[in-house]
Structure 1
Amino acid sequence: MIESKKKESESFEHIKIKEFFYDNLPLDNNVRIIKLEYPIGNRIADVYCKLENGKEVIIEIQHSMILSKDLLQRTKEYNDHNCYVLWVFNGSSFERLPKIEDKI
């Protein structure tokens, strides 16, 4: 199992989803490099991939609620480093009621 190096603790589900992408993404894709918890600017990407064509892709697993402004800010920070971002949401852990429109 992956040991998280991030300061805040990660849930079991977060770690398992991250492991899934790390283990399976290279199987059918042109992935040259894949890293866990890879620093990009002031952020640490859950999974970082560099493809054979040189494009860089960040996979962010979001297991808890996040404000839309925070999601957009994080995406912009990765985009500023020429990285595409794939957000993976695990909604099973999201609070169902009441719904807060400003959260995703």
Structure 2
Amino acid sequence: MSTRTYAYQNDYARELAAAAEAKGEARGEARGEARGEARGEARALLKVLGSRGVEVPQMAWDRIANCGDLAQLDRWLGRAALVTTVDELFDEPTAG
């Protein structure tokens, strides 16, 4: 039994493997960029709250830091300049 790694035997197989690898890399990069953007939004949100003197309990800090929803983080960041408590931040405004 050979311990060598299998070498693709034809050009088509090599092209398929290269395309699959490129697609996987692109997906990984996109996920990494989205996570990085979410972390940046969360840091900005926590900084705004802190600079305004809004107390951020650990449970709220964790909720913000672990949120991966950019739209939600953006809504919270928009409200961060107006709220006086994190409870107000997390309360969804009612339409009307």
Give the TM-score normalised by the residue count of structure 2: 0.29
Give the TM-score normalised by the residue count of structure 1: 0.27
Higher Cα Rg: structure 1 or 2?
2
Give the structure with the higher percent helix: 2
Give the structure with the higher percent strand: 1
